[in-house]
């Protein structure tokens, strides 16, 4: 795995750079966030992520470790590919994405071109616990809300509804009306399941 490249900057555009490392030129896909942080000097170092597919090997470059971590978290979500993750990092900073996920801000994630409501909810559901753990973010402000959410989720699971679909429906209900009681959440969810 190629984890970083250090060499001479040959070409620079908003979507990619070419780095010459001892006579070998590597094309590296970048986000606008990384583009804005690359200095116009000859020597450059970028952290990288290598994507290996049947038909291609692609390198993605990042100016910071945080950006690479967020990119890797995003592509772990089903339905989010490397291009979508790069678009997200071009529209929002890694910190904005991290904070949007940890605070369950569906609107912020959905504001990225190409991200719909269901995908934004899926990103939050699948990554919230990982983001809270990795970045040691305190989730105490929404404890009562999480309790209601957890109780409603567990009640619906007992009734035989699938966990993933139930989580998406409950997340949507809570994002629209955060102060609903457990009973209200369950009643509303039953209408949508």
Q: Please indicate, yes or no, whether the overall pTM of this predicted structure exceeds 0.75.
A: no
Domain boundary among 25, 45, 62: 62
Same domain, 116 and 164: no
Residue owning tokens 């490397």: 82
Summarize pLDDT for 107-133 with one digit per residue, the tens.
999 999 889 999 999 999 999 989 888
Q: Containing domain of residue 148, as a range? A: 140-192
Summarize pLDDT for 90-110 with one digit per residue, the tens.
999 999 999 999 888 999 999
**Residue whose C-alpha is closest to residue 157's, from 125, 131, 189:** 189
Same domain, 123 and 152: no
| Domain count of the fold of the chain | 3
Instruction: Please state, rounded to an integer, the average pLDDT across all residues of the chain.
Output: 88
Q: What is the dihedral of CA 131, 137, 143, 148, to 10 degrees?
A: -10
**Better-predicted residue by pLDDT, 129 or 28:** 28
| 101 contacts 127 by C-beta, under 8 angstroms | yes
Same domain, 79 and 129: yes
Summarize pLDDT for 158-190 with one digit per residue, the tens.
888 887 788 888 888 887 777 788 888 888 888
Same domain, 125 and 145: no
Can you give the CATH number for the domain in which 130 is found?
A: 1.10.150.20
């Amino acid at each position: 795995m190629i984890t970083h490249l250090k060499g001479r900057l040959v070409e620079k555009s908003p979507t990619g750079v070419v780095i010459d490392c001892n006579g070998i030129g590597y094309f590296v896909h970048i986000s606008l966030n990384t583009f804005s942080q690359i200095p116009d000097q000859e020597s450059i170092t970028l952290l990288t992520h290598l994507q290996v597919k049947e038909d291609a090997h692609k390198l993605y470059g990042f100016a910071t470790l945080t950006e690479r971590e967020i990119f890797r978290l995003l592509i772990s979500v089903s339905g989010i590919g490397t291009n979508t993750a790069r678009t997200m990092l071009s529209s929002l900073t890694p910190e904005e994405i991290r904070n949007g996920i940890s605070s369950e801000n569906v609107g912020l994630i959905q504001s990225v071109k190409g991200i719909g409501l269901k995908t934004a909810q899926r990103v939050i559901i699948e990554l919230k616990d990982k983001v809270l753990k990795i970045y040691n973010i305190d989730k105490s402000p929404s404890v009562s809300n999480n309790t209601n959410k957890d109780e409603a989720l567990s009640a619906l699971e007992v009734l035989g509804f699938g966990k993933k679909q139930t989580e998406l429906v409950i997340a949507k209900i809570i994002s629209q009306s955060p102060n609903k009681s457990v009973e209200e959440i369950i009643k509303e969810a039953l209408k949508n399941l």
